[in-house]
Each structure stands twice: as C-alpha cells, then as structure tokens.
Amino acid sequence: MNSKYMFSLIAVIVLISLAYVGVEAAGLQVIFGIVIPYMAVLIFIVGFIYRVMDWASSPVPFRIPSTCGQQKSLPWIKHSKIDNPFTAGGVIVRMFFEILFFRSLFRNTKCRINEGAKISYIWEKWLWLASLAFHYSFLTVLIRHLRFFLEPVPVCLQLLENVDSFFQVGLPGLFLSGAVLLASVTFLFLRRIYIPQIRYISLAADFFPLFLIISIATTGILMRYFTKVNIVGVKEFAMGFATLHPTVPDGIGSLFYVHLFLVSVLFAYFPFSKLMHMGGIFLSPTRNLPNNNRAERHINPWNPSVKIHTYEEYEDEFREKMIEAGLPVEKES
Amino acid sequence: MNDKSKIIAGLIIFVIFITFPFWYNMGKAAPVPEPKLTDKAKLEKECVEPKQFMKVEHMQILDVWRESVVRNASRTYVSKTGKKFNMSLASGDDSCIGCHSSKVDFCDKCHNYASVRPYCWTCHIEPPKEKK
C-alpha cells in the first residue's frame, strides 16, 4: 500500500462515479456532455498558451546544452554534430530525433552493484519501447477520434483506420492502437509500482494521469467492443460539439459520459500537470541550444546597467595631480 | 537570448491544429443520416431483434451468424422473443437484404457517417442497385 497511488486511484474512481451517478441518477447530461467538455477545451487552450508564454518570457542567457558527444573543436578532432550541435541545423536534427524517437530515453541504462563492489550498467530498452508505443498509439487514437468530429471524414483518416484495423479481428474490427495504448500505459504504471527506486520517487501527480489514461482507454474499449453505444448518436453529439450547436442525443449510454468526463478532466488537468512536457520538450534549453559558448559571446539580458568609470576618464580627472605626484600617465596633457 | 517570436509561431500552429474540428466544419452540422426502410421492412415493424438493439449490436449478430453458418452449418437464429430466422446476409428474400434491399439507402447511410467500412461485400455480392 502506498498513499501516493491510492490517492490517485481513489481520485479517478471518484471521478468515474461522479459522471456515472450524475448521468444515470441525476440526469445531468447537459452538464457532463456540454458544459464540462467546452470548459475543459477552453482551460486546455488558455492554460497551455499561458504556461508556454510563461516559459517563453524567461530569457536563456547562456547556452546550457547537455552534451552527449565531442564539442566542435580543432579541425582534426571529430565533431559530433548531432549530440553536441554547433549550428541551428544541428539543433533541429537533434530535436527531431528527440521528439519523434525519444533519443535521450534510448540511452536509458540500469545500474547494478555486483559482488566486489563493482558497478555495471545494463542495457535497458523497455522504458523507451513502452514510451514510444504509448505516445504513438495515443496519438493514433486521438487522430482516429476525429472521425466523430469531421463530416465528411477525410480520406487520410479512413486510410489510418484501415491500417489500424489491418488484422480484421472481430466485428467491429479491432483497432491495434487501442490495445497497444492500454498495454503500454499499463506497463508504464506497473513499472512505477514494481521497481522500488521508481516507486520511491513517484508522486500522486505521476500516478493520476496514468490511472486517468488507463480508465479512458478501458471505457473506450468497453464501448467499442463490449457494451456498445449508438455510434451514430455519438457522432451526432460530437458534430454538434464541433459546430458549436451542442445537442444531447438520446440513447447514448452513461459509459459514454464517463469516457467523455474523464477525457475532459484530462484536458483540463493538462496545463497544470507534468503532461505539459508536450509543449515543454520543444523548450528544453538543455536540448534546443547550440553549444557555441566558446565561439560566440552571449550577453546576459538582465545584467543591470552599472555606472562605469573607465581608466581614461580617471586619468582625465586626476592627470595634473598624478603628474605632480610623479605617477606615470598615458597621455601627457 | 529570447526566442519569443519562434515560440509564438509554434503556439499558433498548435492552436490551429487542435481547433481543427471547429473550423473544418465551419459551424454547419451535417444532417444526421436516416437509413431508408423499404416498404417490406416497414410492414414487418421489427427486425430479428428490436430496433435499438439492432442499432448497436447488428455487427455482433452478423459476426455470430457467420461463425455459426461457416463453422457449424447451423442456419437457424432464434430471437429473444422465440421467433426463428434464417441466418443469411445476402441470399435473397429470406435474408437481411430481403428487407434491406438497398445497400446505398440503408447500410451506407450510417456507415459512411461514422466512417465504418465493413468488409461484408468483399465476399458477398452486393444487392443490385435499384433500377431507375
């Protein structure tokens, strides 16, 4: 038992019950279907912009890249252009691999102390693999949901669905991304529970998004494959939402509202949480700055303006006294 | 050093992306499709199961039917009310397309709206389009 994950788990269970009871018993479809989702989208957009602008207003006076290779130096020393970029081009390549392939996570190692107090570092790729699977499947699921919000459904979206349901398992056809999403997010959760060091540094704020996403994926999968909802009604609802003429069609089960409420909570929680790494990764100064401190001078923008008195001015002021006292001067008169 | 202009440009692109559904439809909701029932279907009043059930579970029923016919050669479906039906999608009057004779007016109406592309008709022969 750990109060941190219990706290998050209870929070998510309360949220689920809130939506379920609210719709099932109190009939608050308008609140959970219209008011809360719009508010969540608004909070997400405004909060996201606010957070990023807050970061953007902090100047970065000095280049502080984390270097993972040889710095640009003398011509006969081989320069590592991506891992220790010197130009904007190098930075762009570095950020590209970081954002799309999580290159820094790929360097993840596990360290162990062997007999005789010898330390060894072990190749550990599961975190990288699960993260990559998680982020890409989540992206696919998110894009796939656009089919509810767009009419007519664009061809590229239909193509994505065809690829995603490639194996034609069951009816309605199994979307691989949904299964991969649930599996990978479960792995990321179990990792936090089972590895003692990771459990020790995990906070409630780490578990909450995991439980939330697990619940969102589970309710989505339940709706598609098991309990079933009226999909035309769902699309009617989503189209109303996207065209700002919200309606609450009949015959959509309360499971849908639970799903929608959890997604709304995720959106609204996003700007206040560690999930902001979505925007933050672009702004991480240890990645997005070229390492050119030795070639260029970067002046600190918040240096105070100091009143200075140069030696020339000093000599001008005291020249006669200096000559009288026999001190050497640079200009005689 | 301050990259505010670049960051603002990135933010604008991001906001355009996430509000995509709002401006793609430009405020006009496409009408909700209403599958057309044939006279024969209207006369029957009810499909093999009640309408609400068929709306959400028809794909499951067809999947079970396929299993039953292909694997067990059993073609009789007993509905919840005890009525017996012939399990068949497209074999003439005593099948799904016996009542729902137009794929365009019935199946495609909702399937296109919800972007669902079932692969029924890669094996079965589509019901012939109505002569005009």
* CATH code, A146: 1.20.950.20
Q: Answer yes or no: do B56 and A240 touch at CB < 8 A.
A: no
Q: pLDDT above 90 covers what percent of chain A?
A: 63
Q: Is B131 a residue whose pLDDT tops 50?
A: no
A266, A209 Cβ separation under 8 angstroms: yes
pLDDT tens per residue, range A23-51 = 888 888 889 999 999 999 999 999 999 99
Instruction: Count up the domains in chain A and report the number.
Output: 2
Provide the pLDDT for residue A331: 83
Q: Which candidate, A208, A204, A230, A262, places its Cα nearest to that of A37?
A: A262
Rounded (5°) CA angle A129-A135-A139? 145
**Are both A262 and A316 inside the same structural domain?**
no
For B55-77, what is the mean pLDDT?
A: 90
Residue B103: how many CA atoms within 13 Å on its side-chain side? 12
Mean pLDDT of the A108-115 span: 86
What pTM was computed for the model? 0.88
Same domain, A138 and A261: yes
Range of the domain at A309: 305-333
Mutation test of the interface with chain B: which of A62, A224, A232, choosing the one with the most B Cβ atoms within 10 A? A232
pLDDT grade, residue A78 (50/70/90)?
very high
Quick check: B120 contacting A, CB < 8 Å? no
Distance from CA of A6 to the nearest CA of B (A): 33
Provide the shortest C-alpha distance from residue B7 to chain A (in Å).
7
- pLDDT level of residue B29 (50, 70, 90 thresholds): low
Among residues A294, A328, A333, the alpha carbon closest in space to that of A74 is found at A294
Give yes or no for residue B132 having a pLDDT over 50.
no
Quick check: B57 contacting A, CB < 8 Å?
yes
Q: Is B12 on the interface with A (CB under 8 A)?
A: no
Which of B116, B121, B123 is best to mutate for the A interface (most A CBs within 10 A)? B116
Cα(A278)–Cα(A283) distance, integer angstroms: 10
Percent of the residues in chain A that have a pLDDT greater than 70, as a whole number = 99
% of chain B residues with pLDDT over 70? 92
Calculate ∠ Cα A2-A273-A267, nearest 5°: 110
Residue B104 is given by DSSP the state I
For A120, phi and psi rounded to 5 degrees? -135, 145
What local confidence, expressed as pLDDT, does residue B125 receive?
A: 80
The mean per-residue pLDDT over the stretch A149-156 comes to 88
**Is B21 close to A56, i.e. CB distance below 8 A?**
no
Across the interface, whether the CB atoms of A146 and B32 are under 8 A apart is answered no
Q: What is the amino acid identity at position A246? A: P
| Lowest mean per-residue pLDDT among A57-61, A85-89, A109-113, A156-160 | A57-61
Of A56, A229, A232, the CB nearest to B4: A56
Q: Chain B residue with minimal CA distance to A172?
A: B59
Q: Are residues A287 and A138 in the same domain?
A: yes
3-state helix, strand, coil in chain A (%, to 5): 60, 5, 35
A160/A48 same-domain check: yes
Looking at CA atoms only, how far is residue B82 from chain A in angstroms?
23
Maximum distance among all alpha carbons in chain B? 78
A156 & A262 share domain: yes
CA A9 vs. chain centroid, Å, equals: 22
Q: Which two tokens stand for residue A34?
A: 């219209």
- A232 contacts B32? CB cut-off 8 A: yes
> How many Cβ atoms from other residues are within 10 Å of residue A307's Cβ?
4
Interval B50-54 mean pLDDT = 87
Q: Which of B7, B28, B110 sits opposite A243 (nearest CB)?
A: B28
The C-alpha of B92 sits at a distance from chain A's nearest C-alpha, in angstroms, of 23
Angle at alpha carbon of residue A49, lines to A134 and A32, rounded to 5°: 65
Average pLDDT, whole number, for chain B? 84
For residue A138, what pLDDT is reported? Answer: 96
Whether residue A217 is found in the same domain as residue A311: no
pLDDT greater at residue B71 or residue B25? B71
SS3 A134: helix
- Residue A162 with chain B: CB contacts under 8 Å: 117
**Is residue A280 domain-shared with residue A326, that is, in the same domain?**
no
How many contacts, defined by CB atoms under 8 Å, are there between A and B? Answer: 107
In this structure, the answer to whether residues A322 and A284 fall within a common structural domain is no
- Give chain A positions within 8 Å (CB) of B122: none
A175, A117: one domain: yes
Q: Which of A49, A153, A229 has the CB atom closest to B115's CB atom?
A: A153
Q: How far is CA B2 from CA A47, A51, A285, B6, B97, in A?
A: 21, 16, 11, 9, 67
Each residue's pLDDT tens digit, A239-296: 888 888 888 887 788 899 999 999 999 999 999 999 999 999 999 989 999 999 889 8
| CB of B50 less than 8 A from some CB of A | no
CB A287 within 8 A of CB A65: yes
A317/A253 same-domain check: no
Co-location of A244 and A312 in the same domain: no
User: Does A204 share its domain with A310?
Assistant: no
Token duo for residue A139: 């992206």
Whole-number Cα distances in Å, B69 to B60, B99, B121: 14, 20, 17
User: How close B32 gets to chain A, by Cα (Å)?
Assistant: 6
Whether the CB-CB separation of A15 and A32 falls below 8 Å is answered with no
Cis, peptide link before residue A172, omega less than 30° from 0: yes
| Residue A209 preceded by cis peptide, ω within 30 | no
Task: Say yes or no to pLDDT of A210 above 70.
Answer: yes
Q: What is the pLDDT of residue B129?
A: 59
- pLDDT average, residue stretch A162-186: 91
Q: How crowded is residue A136: how many other Cβ atoms within 10 Å of its Cβ?
A: 15
Both tokens of residue A5? 């994950």
- pLDDT, tens only, A131-142: 999 999 999 999
B-chain residue closest to A230, CA distance: B56
What whole-number distance in Å separates Cα of residue B47 and Cα of residue A213? 38
Q: Which amino acid is at B56?
A: V
pLDDT above 70 for B2:
no
Mutation target to probe the A interface, by most A beta carbons within 10 A, among B32, B51, B53 is B32
Facing residue for A59 by CB, picked from B1, B52, B115:
B1
Q: Please report the pLDDT score of residue A303 as a whole number.
A: 84
Closest CB from B10, B15, B30 relative to A239: B30
pLDDT of residue B109: 86
